[in-house]
Structure 1
Amino acid sequence: MADTTSLHQAISVCITQINTNLTEASRIARAAAACVAAGSVTEGVEVSMDIEQLLYEAGRLHDAICLMNRISQD
């Protein structure tokens, strides 16, 4: 049987990290939009490329959260 308290703490840490990643992704998206608005589409696309890894990590963290939640309910 899993230690529910530890799983809930781990879920909390993961959710905090997801929030951090998405906040950073939003900041990058705003910077990319500013580049495009200034007429530099290529630079905007280049800046936006940094979003990909943050979104990937947020998705994997969410997968882990879902798994931990299922384990804690067993």
Structure 2
Amino acid sequence: MTRAHDTTAARVLAGIDISKHRHEVLIAAPGKTRRRRMTVMNAAADHQRLIEALRSFGLPVTIGSEGQGTGLTAIITAR
């Protein structure tokens, strides 16, 4: 008999506080008790480092961000 495992809840959550020169990121992964913190400078190399860090989990990612002073929030979900 085949067992079904629902993995839709298994996802990485990332919160990004966006500012002009650097962004503070907090990453929570399922099964991990500690969260990962990153500072990402506003440069392509640092953005690529963040992308690779999120891809390394091999799970869908949901990102919530808030821009400084705008009060706007964006939520992005990607596989």
TM-score normalised by structure 2 residue count: 0.30
Structure richer in helix, relative to its length: 1
Indicate the structure (1 or 2) with the bigger Cα radius of gyration.
1
TM-score normalised by structure 1 residue count: 0.31
* Higher relative contact order structure (alpha carbons within 8 Å, sequence separation ≥ 6): 1
Structure richer in strand, relative to its length: 2
